[in-house]
């Protein structure tokens, strides 16, 4: 192979509940880098982060990719005495561009982006600020509200409010008055619908709050709306471009983790069957949402659309959207005219830009 190939560090896994989703996404990205013209352009180097936060070189990374799920301690070369980052694995100094394929805390939240900034290496995706704000749903919603973007009614809560009976009762009454039922309860800093519950009454609300509090100190409670779920992708730095608009349809009550990652439990419609004016609104709001938090490189913005009222609400932004075989981000660009191989190459080019 020509020596002019760009070495790309594909870092995946991570100390997150979305660890296994990350492995699936990394497999897709690596396959794309080893396909077509990318074979002559790039030299992918897989780096695996285990559930304890330790970084492992390519041979261990390949074991995780082959297995398709997390490697347990007994499958690693040496026992782990303590948690957390201890340094980049040997050979990482040769990596020219880092490509984080991480979802959730300790990867999508600005921590890894800060590390890449410190070692002065270009990386795919948004920087520290946009990643951190985009990860924390309360901070994200505050930024969207400041930018005047339409959102469904929501409230924030803290896990500490559930530890004292009087504070818990005050919180329940506040949520009943401001949000009502049904509502969604979400940990502020998890993705892939992990830890999200839907409450139809007080008992379900308390249960949902306690589950969310077991995963995060910050909690988001949102009004549930009967609406279509739309998604739009973004690509670029100096000039952001919005993709075609897609729609997710599913048989379950809502788009939970099982529905997202189980075969045949949801359906993607790309392009979404929408009037042109609605698509254009979605694309405009997508760019405005990215600008509100400073996101660039890549992102996916999700929406609720209630056609009876012609109402459109921004739901959330994902600064490191999923890249699995079922993920909307690469599929949106494919329909827009950018193949998977072209997409990963473009993301690396943008990182170098």
Confidence of residue 138 (pLDDT cuts 50, 70, 90): very high
pLDDT at 2: 46
Asked whether residue 130 is assigned to any structural domain, the reply reads: no
Which residues make Cβ contacts (< 8 Å) with residue 131, sequence separation at least 6? 108, 109, 110, 113, 125, 319, 320
Residue 172 and residue 239 in one domain: no
- Write the pLDDT tens digit of every residue in 198-238: 999 999 999 999 999 998 999 999 999 999 999 999 999 88
Confidence of residue 157 (pLDDT cuts 50, 70, 90): very high
Q: Compute the mean pLDDT over every residue in the chain, rounded to the nearest whole number.
A: 92
pLDDT at 252: 58
Among residues of the chain, what percentage have pLDDT more than 70? 93
Give the CATH number for residue 109.
3.40.50.20
Asked whether residue 255 is assigned to any structural domain, the reply reads: yes
C-alpha closest to that of 21 among 75, 123, 131, 102: 102
Asked whether residue 128 is assigned to any structural domain, the reply reads: no
Tally of domains within the chain: 3
pLDDT at 3: 57
Cα–Cα distance measured from residue 188 to residue 211, given in angstroms and rounded to the nearest whole number: 12
Contact 53, 83 (CB under 8 A): yes
Domain boundary among 223, 239, 258: 223
**DSSP SS3 for 299:** strand
Asked whether residue 131 is assigned to any structural domain, the reply reads: no
Contact 346, 297 (CB under 8 A): no
- The residue-averaged pLDDT of 249-259 equals 60
Q: Which domain holds residue 161?
A: 154-223
Cα–Cα distance measured from residue 102 to residue 113, given in angstroms and rounded to the nearest whole number: 11
Cα–Cα distance measured from residue 156 to residue 185, given in angstroms and rounded to the nearest whole number: 10
What CA–CA distances, in Å, run from 29 to 110, 143, 171, 179, 343?
21, 31, 43, 40, 10
Give the CATH number for residue 202.
3.30.1490.20
Residue 169 and residue 292 in one domain: no
HEC assignment per residue over 236-285: ECCCCEEEEEEEEEECCCCCCHHHHHCCCCEEEECCCCCCHHHHHHHHHH
Cα–Cα distance measured from residue 41 to residue 96, given in angstroms and rounded to the nearest whole number: 13
- Write the pLDDT tens digit of every residue in 272-309: 999 999 999 999 999 999 999 999 999 999 999 999 99
Asked whether residue 280 is assigned to any structural domain, the reply reads: yes
pLDDT at 339: 95
Contact 87, 55 (CB under 8 A): yes
| Residue 93 burial class via C-beta count within 10 angstroms: exposed 0-12, middle 13-18, buried 19 and up | exposed
Residue 239 and residue 176 in one domain: no
pLDDT at 261: 47
Asked whether residue 129 is assigned to any structural domain, the reply reads: no
- Write the pLDDT tens digit of every residue in 308-353: 999 999 999 999 999 987 899 999 999 999 999 999 999 999 999 8
Confidence of residue 191 (pLDDT cuts 50, 70, 90): low
Which residues make Cβ contacts (< 8 Å) with residue 302, sequence separation at least 6? 229, 230, 231, 314, 315, 316, 317, 318
**DSSP SS3 for 212:** helix
């Amino acid at each position: 192979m020509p020596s002019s190939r760009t070495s790309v560090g594909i870092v995946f896994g991570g100390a997150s509940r979305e660890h296994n989703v990350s492995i699936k996404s990394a497999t897709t990205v690596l396959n794309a880098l080893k396909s077509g013209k990318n074979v002559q352009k790039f030299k992918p180097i897989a780096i695996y982060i285990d559930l304890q936060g330790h970084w492992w070189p390519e041979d261990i990374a390949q074991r995780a990719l082959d297995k398709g799920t997390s490697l347990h301690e007994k499958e690693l070369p040496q026992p782990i005495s303590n948690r957390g980052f201890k340094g980049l694995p040997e050979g990482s100094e040769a990596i020219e561009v880092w490509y984080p394929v991480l979802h959730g805390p300790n990867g999508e939240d600005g921590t890894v982006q800060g590390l890449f900034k410190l070692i002065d290496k270009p990386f795919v995706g948004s920087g520290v600020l946009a990643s951190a704000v985009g990860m924390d749903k309360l901070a994200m919603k505050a930024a969207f509200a400041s930018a005047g973007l339409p959102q469904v009614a929501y409230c924030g809560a803290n896990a500490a409010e559930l530890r004292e009976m009087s504070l818990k009762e005050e919180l329940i009454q506040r949520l009943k008055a401001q949000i009502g039922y049904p509502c969604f309860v979400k940990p502020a800093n998890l993705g892939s619908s992990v830890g999200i519950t839907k409450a139809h009454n007080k008992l379900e609300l308390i249960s949902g709050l306690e589950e969310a509090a077991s995963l995060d100190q910050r909690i988001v409670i949102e009004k549930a709306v009967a609406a279509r779920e739309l998604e739009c992708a973004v690509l670029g730095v100096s000039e952001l471009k919005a993709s075609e608009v897609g729609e997710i349809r599913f048989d379950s009550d809502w788009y939970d983790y099982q529905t997202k990652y189980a075969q045949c439990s949801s359906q993607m419609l790309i392009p979404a069957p929408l009037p042109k004016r609605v698509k254009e609104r979605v694309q405009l709001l997508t760019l405005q949402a990215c600008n509100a938090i400073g996101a660039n490189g890549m992102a996916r913005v999700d929406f609720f659309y209630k056609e009876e009222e012609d109402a459109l609400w921004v739901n959330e932004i994902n600064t490191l959207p999923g890249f699995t075989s079922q993920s909307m981000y690469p599929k949106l660009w494919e329909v827009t005219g950018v193949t998977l191989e072209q997409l990963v190459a473009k993301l690396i080019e943008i990182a170098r830009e």
